Amino acid sequence: MNFKSYLATLRVQDQALPEGLQELLLALSHACSGLSQAVAQGPLIGLLGSAGTGNVQGEVQQKLDVIANDTLIAGLSGCSALAGIASEEMELPIPVGSGEGSYLVLFDPLDGSSNIDVNVSIGTIFSILKKPIPNAPLEPNDFLQAGSQQVAAGYVVYGPQTTLVMSLGAGVDLFTLDPITDQFMLTKESIRIPQAAKEFAINMSNSRHWAKPVQRYIEECLAGVTGVRQKDFNMRWIASMVADVHRVLMRGGVFMYPWDQREPNKPGKLRLMYEANPMGFLVEQAGGQAIDGKQRILEIKPTTLHQRVSVMLGAGEEIERLRTYHLA
C-alpha cells in the first residue's frame, strides 16, 4: 500500500484522518523523497561540506542542513491546513499562508550532520501539533506544547534505503521509499520494542563527564555476564539520532544522550521539541519509554523553542532501571 492510500484508510480512535492532515503528511513525505534524491547525489550536485554559516544554537551549518530546511519549507508552504513551521535551523517560527491553519510542524531538517560528508545514515525528524487557537494569527508560543500533545511524529532515514517511520497515536508503521516509482510503500506495521534489552547506544567518550546514575548503569552493562546484570551487552553509536533510534525500534535496546558536565548549565545536547519529543512519541507508541532521567519526556512543558533535554529511551525495563538509579 502506498503512503497516500495508507493515510486515506487509516483510522485513529475510529476516526478518519482530517483531509488537511493527510495533505500535510503527503507534502512532507514528498519533500523528504526529494531530499532523499539530493542526498543520494551528494558530491555530484555539490552538496557536501560546510555552508560557512552558523545556526541560532551556535552550531556550524552544513550545506545540507540549509538545503534540507529550505526544501521542507518549500514543500510545505502550499498546505492550507498548516499555520506555521519551526525548525532547528531557524531562530523563530515562520507562518504559513495567513498563519491561521489548524496544524504546526516542527522539524530537525537534517539530523546527524557530522555523518553527511562520510556517507553514513542521516535523516529528518518531524513533530506535528494542533494550533491552540485556529483562525487566529500565529504566535510563537503556540509551539510550546508538551510532547504528549503531538498529533503525529516521525522521521525519515536516508540510509541504504530511505525509510519513513511514523505514528499518529495508533502504533508505529514503517514505509520504504521505492526510488523507481518515488512512492513510500508500507513495509512494516505495528513496530514493538521488547521490554528487555542487551544493546545500548551512548557516546562513550563522554563517560567521565556523565552523572553518577548514568555511569553506574553503563558500568553494570559493561561488566557483562559476570556482573550484576548477569548478561553481556553490545554497544552501537552511529551519532545520527535518527539511525540510532531506528535501530532501537527495529531490534530493541536503549539510546541515551544524557546531561553531562561539559556544559553543566545545559540540560543536554539534544533538543526537546524536534528531536526528543517526536522520538519519545514513537518509542512510547512502540511500547517503550522515554525519560530525561526522572521524568517522562512527553510531559515536559517547554518554555523555549530550542530548549535542550537529557534523553534516555527504548526498552521499558532498561529505562525503568535508569529512572530508579536517578531517583536513588
Judged by the rule CB under 6 A, the positions of this chain that interact with ligand AHG are: 59, 88, 108, 111-114, 203, 239-241, 257
Total count of residues recorded for the chain: 328
How far, in whole angstroms, is CA 72 from its chain's centroid? 15
Contact between 173 and Mn ion by CB under 5 A: the answer reads no
Task: Report, in Å, the least distance between residue 59 CB and ligand AHG.
Answer: 6
Q: Which residues pair with 202 in a beta bridge?
A: none
Q: What would the x/- binding string for Mn ion be over residues 302 to 321, using CB under 5 A?
A: --------------------
Which residue lies nearer to ligand AHG by CB, 244 or 318?
Answer: 244
Residue 129's SS3 state is strand
Which residue lies nearer to ligand AHG by CB, 17 or 157?
Answer: 157
Contact between 108 and Mn ion by CB under 5 A: the answer reads yes
Take residue 282 and report the three cell numbers written for it: 514513537
Take residue 258 and report the three cell numbers written for it: 544524557
Contact between 199 and Mn ion by CB under 5 A: the answer reads no
Task: Report, in Å, the least distance between residue 203 CB and Mn ion.
Answer: 14
How far lies 149's CA from each of 62, 130, 142, in Å? 31, 8, 12
Q: Give CB contacts under 8 A, 24+ apart, made by 89-94.
A: 89/55, 89/56, 89/61, 89/65, 90/56, 91/56, 91/306, 92/140, 92/305, 93/138, 93/140, 93/142, 93/143, 93/305
Span from 2-10, 84-92, 126-134, 278-286 in contact with Mn ion (CB under 5 A) = 84-92
Which residue lies nearer to ligand AHG by CB, 221 or 276?
Answer: 276
Which residue lies nearer to ligand AHG by CB, 258 or 302?
Answer: 258
Task: Report, in Å, the least distance between residue 139 CB and ligand AHG.
Answer: 26
Task: Report, in Å, the least distance between residue 241 CB and Mn ion.
Answer: 5
- Spatial contact of 248 and 201, defined as CB atoms under 8 Å apart: yes
How far lies 224's CA from each of 198, 218, 235, in Å? 10, 10, 12
* Residue 203 interacting entry, from Mn ion, ligand AHG, none, C-beta within 5 to 8 Å by type: ligand AHG
* Residue 114 interacting entry, from Mn ion, ligand AHG, none, C-beta within 5 to 8 Å by type: ligand AHG
Find cell 527504548 and name the residue: 314
Task: Report, in Å, the least distance between residue 108 CB and ligand AHG.
Answer: 5
- Spatial contact of 124 and 72, defined as CB atoms under 8 Å apart: yes
Rounded Cα–Cα distance for residues 48 and 231 (Å)? 42
Which residue lies nearer to ligand AHG by CB, 104 or 242?
Answer: 242
61, 105, 111, 268: which one contacts Mn ion (CB under 5 A)?
111
Task: Report, in Å, the least distance between residue 55 CB and ligand AHG.
Answer: 9
Q: Which residues bind to Mn ion, rule: CB under 5 A?
A: 88, 108, 110-111
